[in-house]
Amino acid sequence: MRKPDWLKVELSSRDSFSDVRYTLKKNSLHTVCEEARCPNLHECWSHGTATIMILGDVCTRGCRFCAVKTGNPGRKTDPLEPLRVAYAVKNMGLRYVVITMVDRDDLPDGGADHVARTVESVKRVNPGVRVEALVGDFQGNRTSVEMVVNSPLDVFAHNVETVERITPLLRDRRASYRLSLEVLRMAKDINPSILTKSGLMVGVGETEEEVVKTMEDLRGVGVDILTIGQYLQPTPRHYPVKEYVHPRVFAEYRRIGLSLGFKEVFSGPLVRSSYRADLVFRSAQV
């Protein structure tokens, strides 16, 4: 299917785009912006923001929607990465940073301690910066979830990705819709005051009724912030796009979501879970 006009992205040539790229490369850091081939990369980097991906660039899972490399990292981690991330944030002058991760099922704690140490380092080196941690499911291990939730983060994020019926078609067999809901419920149970966030892709064959049911399920486990965006097939070998959802449908999803009690619903064709996360956070704080 040919992409509709509302999915066209204008590239930017602002100096800050090059500045962000230089700082990330200099510190040997990966971004989900590049690895997942995000269509908003130029816009976000041109505004001096980026979502930093830690624990390497090889994921132990193989979801059909994701362009990140799949393999076995062999339990390797970089103990200096938390500090490198912290100083990269400082050098880029960020006030809000999203720390995300590849799934690391090869590690006993799923990488939770590394995530927590990265959040702590960023906060220590950058007083006043807001930190969002977008993490995997840690196989539902409560101790791992506690490590992240009890770090000095501002938002705990975990994406449900799609509706329950399509989850087995789109996500790795080790992931599940119910497990994702349980991780989000667990985070809120550990710290009721923390903001929790999840993301949903549409255009993969779901019905509007299923999207609304997913919203209801997410509110049922206390999720505060929801992002809804159009799925875009990263390569021909990935799961195909079934539909390009019209912007007016995204607007209706936002209306419904707010009526269900979400503090903020960021819904649009080019929205991604980390897209303009600073604005979403501020809206949810009101």
CATH code of the domain covering residue 201: 3.20.20.70
Give domain status of residue 130, yes or no.
Answer: yes
Give domain status of residue 2, yes or no.
Answer: no
Give domain status of residue 74, yes or no.
Answer: yes
Domain that holds residue 54: 10-285
Give domain status of residue 145, yes or no.
Answer: yes
pLDDT grade for 279, boundaries at 50, 70 and 90: low
Half-sphere exposure of 154 (CA within 13 A, CB side): 20
Give domain status of residue 4, yes or no.
Answer: no
Reported as a single tens digit per residue, the pLDDT across 98-120 is 999 999 999 999 999 999 999 99
Reported as a single tens digit per residue, the pLDDT across 117-162 is 999 999 999 998 999 999 999 999 999 999 999 999 999 999 999 9
Tokens of 82: 């938390």
At residue 47, the pLDDT reads 55
The domain tally of the chain equals 1
- Rounded CA gap, 14 and 43, in Å? 9
At residue 238, the pLDDT reads 94
- Rounded CA gap, 139 and 9, in Å? 36
Cβ neighbourhood burial of 249 (10 Å; 0-12, 13-18, 19+): middle
